[in-house]
Amino acid sequence: MTEDSEVLRYLERFGYLSPGRERTDDSTALALARFQGRLNLPVTGLLDENTRSAVDFDRCGMVDASDGLALKVSCPWGSGELRYAFGTPCHDYEEAFDAVERAVATWAAVVPLVVKRVENAADADVLVEWRPADDPDHSMVGKVLAHADFPGQCWSITPDRPKPLHFDDSEHIWCDGAIRGAFDVETVALHEFGHLLGLTHGTVAGSVMYPAISSHYVLRELQPDDRERLGVLYPWSTSSEES
């Protein structure tokens, strides 16, 4: 059972409540209602069972909102080329880098960018690494599986390069495919790379950019909501031509 204080910490961590601001019953109810709305739960403004179990899901470390409101991130990747490299590997699953490459290729097929792997971190725009949950650039302690960053002026982790695409290698188990208790690398990499292209969290359950997932789950194809939102960010992309 998730404690009330844990739910409130979650609402702060993912942008529904401002840390340090005095809380009233009204502000908490509003934050709960916004969270429920974004996760497509029945909107009650109450700490009900649906809300407690939603808070218990494993998820992405990027915020859903800022001060309770949907993030206004409208930065596509700013140059025509995006180079990524690999750093510290995954200790559970040897072929994890290949799974990330497949996820990157899925996006590369629909964005108007040249996306390529380079060998040295010094030449990379994005560095893919498995890190301890207590990650210095963005804590993944708890239910957080991974994090990335947004491009350009929309950054939230670092304005510098290489940008992070970091997976938690101490509190989650990684695998290839749907395995109980473990997480499919390609599924999570596909979600995180969406952030690096400028996408925020979507509200449609079952889409790639939905923030929460369970173990034993595979989603390796872009969904209509992902394509539609990518098409807004890159009006010249091919995402709207394929359905």
Amino acid, res. 73: V
3-state DSSP assignment of residue 74: coil
Rule CB under 5 A: is residue 31 a binding residue for Zn ion?
A: no
Residue 163's alpha-carbon distances to 71, 78, 119, 168, in angstroms, are 19, 13, 15, 16
Which residues, 41 to 80, sit near Zn ion by CB under 5 A?
60, 62
Give the DSSP per-residue string, 104-143: HHHHHTTSSSEEEE-S-GGG-SEEEEEE-SS-TTS---SS
* Per-residue binding letters, 101-120, with Zn ion (x by CB under 5 A): --------------------
Which two three-digit tokens encode residue 137? 């650039």
* Per-residue binding letters, 137-176, with Zn ion (x by CB under 5 A): xx-------------------------x-x----------
Rounded to the nearest whole angstrom, what is the least distance from the CB of residue 232 to Zn ion in the complex? 17
CB closer to Zn ion, 28 vs 82: 82
Give the DSSP per-residue string, 193-223: HHHHTT----SSTTSTT-SEE-SS----S--
Rounded to the nearest whole angstrom, what is the least distance from the CB of residue 129 to Zn ion in the complex? 8
- Are the C-beta atoms of residues 105 and 52 closer than 8 Å to each other? no
CB closer to Zn ion, 45 vs 164: 164
Residue 239's alpha-carbon distances to 4, 108, 115, 223, in angstroms, are 41, 11, 16, 10
CB closer to Zn ion, 34 vs 195: 195
Rounded to the nearest whole angstrom, what is the least distance from the CB of residue 166 to Zn ion in the complex? 3
Q: Which range in 4-12, 132-140, 221-229, 231-239 contacts Zn ion by CB under 5 A?
A: 132-140
Q: Which range in 110-118, 133-141, 181-189, 227-235 contacts Zn ion by CB under 5 A?
A: 133-141
3-state DSSP assignment of residue 88: coil
CB closer to Zn ion, 60 vs 73: 60
Interacting residues toward Zn ion by CB under 5 A: 60, 62, 135, 137-138, 164, 166
